[in-house]
Amino acid sequence: MANNKTNKSESKKVEDLKASQKDFNDTTMTTNQGLKVNDTNNSLKSGERGSTLLEDFLLREKITSFDHERIPERIVHARGSAAHGYFELYDSIAQYTKAGIFNDVSRKTPVFVRFSTVAGSKGSPDLARDVRGFAVKFYTEEGTWDLVGNNMPIFFIQDAMKFPDLIHSVKPEPNKEIPQAASAHDTFYDFVSHATETLHNHIWVMSDRAIPRSFRMMEGFGIHTFRFINDKNESHFVRFHWKPKLGVHSLTWDEAVKINGADSDFHRRDLWDAIEAGQFPEWELGVQIIPQEDEFKFEFDLLDPTKLIPEEMVPVQIIGKMTLNKNPENFFAETEQVAFLPGHVVPGIDFTNDPLLQGRLFSYRDTQLSRLGGPNFHQIPINRPIVPTHNNQRDGMMQTEIPTGQTAYFPNSLTGGCPHLAKMAEGGFHSYEERIDAKKVRGRSESFNDHFSQPALFYRSLAKWEQEHVADAYTFELGKCNQKHIKERMLWLIAEIDTDLANKVAEGLGLAIPETIEQPVNQAIGADEEVSKHQPPKKKNYLDAAPTLSQANTKFDSIATRQVAVLVANGFSMKNFKKMSDALEKEGAMVKLIAPHGGTITCDENMEHPVDAAIMTTESVLFDSVYIPGGKAAVDKLMKEAKFVKFINETLKHCKAIAADAEGEDLIDKTFVKDFKKDKAVLINQEPSKFIDAMKQHRNWDRSDLVKEIPA
């Protein structure tokens, strides 16, 4: 009887779902004015690879509606952290660009940088699995330049027309407003499984890149292909890269879940504390430069924002360094009110016909008009350029300046024609004169169709432990979906990327990979377009592997700002502690005393030491490594506290470095670490230098398969 009731209940749910969808059956998409729409996937362009046209009222209506959905919080990138700093150029690249910031090595250009998550609200936790925004405002002597990028080199979609659809799919489902800051739900995977252009960025989000250890330890990318223009008006294509001096390091998903509970401000606090401690974050700026004549030499399209240019094919040339050395004085006035616009460029930097970039040039300004109350948001102190501004723009909401004079138009004679126009030789901006000879169409270049080759390259390039994390992420995310047909469609697509990966995910889901799928793979087409024209072809292998895509090949030469938990109680060994802490602090690590209680603790030399955290108020996931200095009285006390054992076991499970001296080994023997004493990142009675070397490696991933059964 129970089974029969269950079946009836499920049948009723299905009928209710069908009834709720009844009003939507056989409806035709229209604009807000009732005009029927036959393509909501592509913006209007001058040729399939041409620039997007201002007359595209469908794009403007869709984007405008989307940009104004919420105020005052950002619709995307709402959760942000920021800092002030400066950029210095190593060597002039005047042969490529006339931009002063890239010509004058004597300059120290002020910057303001905002890091963010994408999907969550302003109050969401820092450690969501998500893309991270990496936006840099350069206050240059020629005007403000905004490099508005992410911590992944590609984007989800190819055309800005699809951006509202992407974000609507990943945001909390509108009927129940859950889940927050999470992509593991039906609407997102329903979209991804139909819009296969998303697959490349999506596999990056399934990788460890989506859970950075710190903003200070993640890369940044300009995403789009831009242009450099030199003083001879010659064009080169360019992509921008930020390379962190500390290397690229991430957390595991298990850690992220626990950190969100222990400290939902983990990334924000980490950035703030590092700067306050004088451990200033640094990134080197690199560029990939492609001559104009090489535009079509690759097996992918340079204008496709879902494609990266492997560094193995076009090396990154390091040209300068950015340092962040000052925290904001007021979060709202600076971090919240800063306005980044991709359309803010300076002479020597120009746009390409990347259809996503073209749409962003409109969308970002439109969004700021909504968020910041009107067209005068450039007068807010954090947005003001460092050079004087002169134009005939007047009045408007939030006007804080008092323009003087009789005229507010051009040309004029009453004020001597001022402000006058600037010639190119005087630094006037001049757009690159790209020849355009094309039909006005709403479509997409067939050169954008390859959706499987680069996701496959990315996966092939990862270390084994990174591949395992990708498989686990897909399994978790799809396991949160309720609709079987969405899971199966995703499994089919993952199999097109990599069969072994798909098999691992399928096993975790308890499903078989379907031989075919019912609906067309690629829905990024208009109603009248031929489906086969935009079907993604089978993956190509134009590069066996790109080692630079793997975090296993990042920098491992520093423990600066790494958090070391030192487990102590009354009577801990001062001799051992001082030897270790001196060595760690000399390398820039942050040593924290974790004790059974707060207040102070006394060492075996009867000296008092302030406790940084009582064991009940902290978690192992907030630290990069653990050290136990010993001292019999202290260790006897620690062994009576179950959470210290749990703390060490979790550290082991997360493949971090562990060190112990003298009686500290007795505490180790109460944990699972006792079976790992030969592990290269478990140091018992070893010199501090050995512990430091182990910490520099970030994790001992060789341990990962061996600790899977350890409870944490």
- Read off the pLDDT of residues 580-593 as tens digits, 9 standing for 90 and up: 999 999 999 999 99
The residue annotated as part of the active site, out of 77, 194, 202, 241, is 77
Q: How confident is the model at residue 712 (pLDDT cuts 50, 70, 90)?
A: low
The per-residue pLDDT for 25 is 60
The per-residue pLDDT for 526 is 74
Active site residue 430: no
Q: Say which DSSP state 572 is in.
A: B
137 within domain boundaries: yes
- Is 245 found in the same domain as 111? yes
- The β-bridge partners of 600 are 610
| Residue where a domain terminates, one of 383, 404, 429 | 383
How far CA 257 is from CA of 105, 262, 561, in Å, comes to: 44, 9, 22
The per-residue pLDDT for 545 is 96
- Among the residue ranges 28-32, 405-409, 427-431, the one predicted with the least confidence is 28-32
440 within domain boundaries: no
- Give the whole-angstrom CA distance, residue 154 versus residue 454: 10
Q: How many residues does the chain have?
A: 712
**Residue 552 burial by CB count (10 A; 0-12/13-18/19+): exposed, middle or buried?**
middle
- Is 675 found in the same domain as 627? yes
Active site residue 150: yes
- Indicate if the pLDDT at residue 643 is higher than 70: yes
- Is 562 found in the same domain as 541? no
Cβ count near 8 (within 10 Å): 10
- Give the whole-angstrom CA distance, residue 28 versus residue 38: 9
- Is 360 found in the same domain as 275? yes
The per-residue pLDDT for 6 is 47
Radius of gyration of the chain (CA): 28
Query: Nearest Cα to 377, choosing from 412, 336, 436, 408?
Result: 336
* Two structure tokens written together for 427: 């630094």
- Is 584 found in the same domain as 526? no
Task: Provide mean pLDDT across the span 474-499.
Answer: 97
- Indicate if the pLDDT at residue 659 is higher than 70: yes
8 within domain boundaries: no
What residue type is assigned to position 319 of the chain?
A: I
159 within domain boundaries: yes
* 3-state per-residue secondary structure call for 12-81: HHHHHHHHHHHHHCCCCCECCCCCECCCCCCCEEECCCCCECCCCHHHHHHHHHHHCCCCCCCCCCCCEE
Tally of helices (H runs) and strands (E runs) in the chain: 17, 20
Task: Provide mean pLDDT across the span 120-143.
Answer: 96
- Indicate if the pLDDT at residue 1 is higher than 60: no
| Residue where a domain terminates, one of 536, 552, 568 | 552
Structural domain for 271, as ranges: 44-163+198-383
User: Which position has the higher pLDDT, 653 or 7?
Assistant: 653
- Read off the pLDDT of residues 434-465 as tens digits, 9 standing for 90 and up: 888 889 999 899 999 999 999 999 999 999 99
Give the three-class secondary structure for 131. coil
Per the CB < 8 A criterion, the answer to whether 205 and 280 are in contact is no
The residue annotated as part of the active site, out of 41, 42, 103, 150, is 150
Task: Provide mean pLDDT across the span 177-205.
Answer: 96
Task: Provide mean pLDDT across the span 217-244.
Answer: 97
Cβ count near 334 (within 10 Å): 20
- Give the whole-angstrom CA distance, residue 55 versus residue 73: 29
How far CA 26 is from CA of 22, 527, 580, in Å, comes to: 9, 14, 71
**Mean pLDDT taken over the chain:** 92
User: Which position has the higher pLDDT, 537 or 213?
Assistant: 213
User: Which position has the higher pLDDT, 111 or 395?
Assistant: 111
| Residue where a domain terminates, one of 520, 535, 552 | 552
Q: How confident is the model at residue 493 (pLDDT cuts 50, 70, 90)?
A: very high
- Among the residue ranges 1-5, 298-302, 311-315, 642-646, the one predicted with the least confidence is 1-5
- Read off the pLDDT of residues 237-277 as tens digits, 9 standing for 90 and up: 999 999 999 999 999 999 999 999 999 999 999 999 999 99
Per the CB < 8 A criterion, the answer to whether 63 and 98 are in contact is no
What CATH number has the domain bearing residue 354? 2.40.180.10
- Indicate if the pLDDT at residue 75 is higher than 70: yes
The per-residue pLDDT for 430 is 85
User: Which position has the higher pLDDT, 54 or 133?
Assistant: 133
418 within domain boundaries: no
What CATH number has the domain bearing residue 597? 3.40.50.880
- Is 574 found in the same domain as 479? no
- Is 531 found in the same domain as 588? no
- Indicate if the pLDDT at residue 601 is higher than 90: yes
- Give the whole-angstrom CA distance, residue 354 versus residue 396: 32
Q: How confident is the model at residue 83 (pLDDT cuts 50, 70, 90)?
A: very high
- Is 567 found in the same domain as 544? no
Query: Nearest Cα to 619, choosing from 565, 581, 560?
Result: 565
- Indicate if the pLDDT at residue 166 is higher than 80: yes
Q: How confident is the model at residue 37 (pLDDT cuts 50, 70, 90)?
A: confident
- Is 132 found in the same domain as 274? yes
Q: How confident is the model at residue 165 (pLDDT cuts 50, 70, 90)?
A: very high
Cβ count near 335 (within 10 Å): 20
Who's near 449: CB < 8 A, 6+ residues apart? 522, 534, 535, 536, 537
635 within domain boundaries: yes
- Total structural domains in the chain? 3
- Is 245 found in the same domain as 124? yes
What residue type is assigned to position 433 of the chain?
A: E
- Is 596 found in the same domain as 522? no
218 within domain boundaries: yes
- Indicate if the pLDDT at residue 521 is higher than 50: yes
**Cα three-residue angle 397-402-403, rounded to 5 degrees:** 100
Share above pLDDT 90 across residues of the chain, in percent, rounded to a whole number: 78
The per-residue pLDDT for 198 is 97
Q: How confident is the model at residue 2 (pLDDT cuts 50, 70, 90)?
A: very low
407 within domain boundaries: no
Who's near 478: CB < 8 A, 6+ residues apart? 184, 189, 486, 487, 490, 491, 505, 509
- Indicate if the pLDDT at residue 116 is higher than 80: yes
- Indicate if the pLDDT at residue 321 is higher than 70: yes
Task: Provide mean pLDDT across the span 637-660.
Answer: 97
- Is 562 found in the same domain as 542? no
Q: How confident is the model at residue 5 (pLDDT cuts 50, 70, 90)?
A: very low
